Amino acid sequence: MGTEPLGRISTDEILAVLDAGEIIEEYPEDVPYSSCLIFGYARQQRPLHIVCAPVLDEGRLIIITVYQPDPTRWEADWRRRKLR
């Protein structure tokens, strides 16, 4: 995983966001699996976005990317993209 300004994103942070986060965007046309964007707060109220693809028939979740959202691209609530 890449280094973020506040340090590396830990597995515990990812699991916490997956457990308590909310789906803010869905990408049903993604291939080979539909995916979604999950938003949640990790430790110290650090906002994180997780793009993942649930593979329900196999009972697994593919994590595509995890990142700390860029405030120049996201509204202050981290749930909505800024209009360009």
Q: How far apart are CA 23 and CA 44, in angstroms?
A: 21
Residue 24 is predicted with a pLDDT of 98
Is the pTM higher than 0.85?
yes
Q: Is the pLDDT of residue 32 over 80?
A: yes
* pLDDT, tens digit (0-9, with 9 covering 90-100), for 58-76: 999 999 999 999 999 999 9
3-state secondary structure the chain: CCEECCEECCHHHHHHHHHHCEEEEEECCCCCCCEEEEEEECHHHCEEEEEEEEEHHHCEEEEEEEECCCCCCECCCCCCECCC
